[in-house]
A and B are shown apart, each in its own frame.
Chain A
């Protein structure tokens, strides 16, 4: 649904249309601009992941983003209190993004040494780009080449992760 090339523009439009309502809401409840920014950016990550997975039925971006941001704000300022299971499930998506700090060395390594593979895997697994579109985007002859390349990349990254992890004692979760 969302092509990576247009993603920044898509994000810009969402920012312009939905951030004012979130900022207003957070400000009214005594939060700072930084607070509004934090919850809005987490909400955008959640929204993006739902959008590419085809889990959005509503067309009202603005209302949906405001809804997620309100939940995030609510939880941020009720930490310690028990929030409902549904909310927790929703919000875990955003929280997980910054976990696994111990993986950062491996990620850093992959971002330089295996960038092309990481970009391809990212497009296919995270952005849910179709194999056909990925062929075009990455300049492969056809869907078959992309599929083979995908498995080669998984193998390469897996072996790198394994090798790097065993040399960084802090990696093991």
Chain B
């Protein structure tokens, strides 16, 4: 892989806690030589956090769609009625 991708792999492994002590030393050395790498680490972290948020939204959308199916489709009528019964007073 080209150098920039190898650096991304190193940063990714580091942020995921997969690096060995030697790798950590290597990363520290690289940061000293190239301080811009610190910025890459920051943005990489933001990226992983965005991937998580993106994924959770997708999951929540699917969950909501399942809920809507259960509460609108005719084949789920008895399920729906059994739930609604709990909330009648």
Chain A residues proximal to chain B, CB less than 8 Å = 7-8, 11-12, 15-16, 19-20, 23-24, 27-28, 32-33, 37, 41, 44-45, 48, 97, 100, 103, 106-107, 110-111, 118, 121-122, 125-127, 148, 151-152, 154-155, 157-159, 161-162, 165
Contacts and interface: CB of A to CB of B under 8 A. Distances in A.
A48 B65 CA distance: 16
Interface in B5-64: 5, 8-9, 12, 40, 43-44, 46-60, 62-64
Nearest to A163: B43
19 contacts: A7-B62, A11-B63, A15-B67, A15-B70, A20-B83, A27-B86, A41-B63, A41-B67, A44-B63, A100-B49, A103-B53, A118-B54, A151-B1, A151-B8, A151-B12, A154-B47, A155-B4, A157-B50, A161-B50
Contacts of B64: 41
B40 A48 contact: no
A15 B62 CA distance: 12
A92 to B, nearest CB: 13
- Residues of A contacting B: mostly: helix
Given A107-B50, A121-B51, A151-B12, 6 more contacts: A12-B70, A15-B70, A20-B79, A107-B53, A154-B44, A155-B4
A62 to B, nearest CB: 15
Nearest to B5: A151
Given A11-B66, A15-B70, A148-B5, A45 B60 contact: yes
B61 to A, nearest CB: 10
A33 B67 CA distance: 12
Contacts of B1: 148, 151
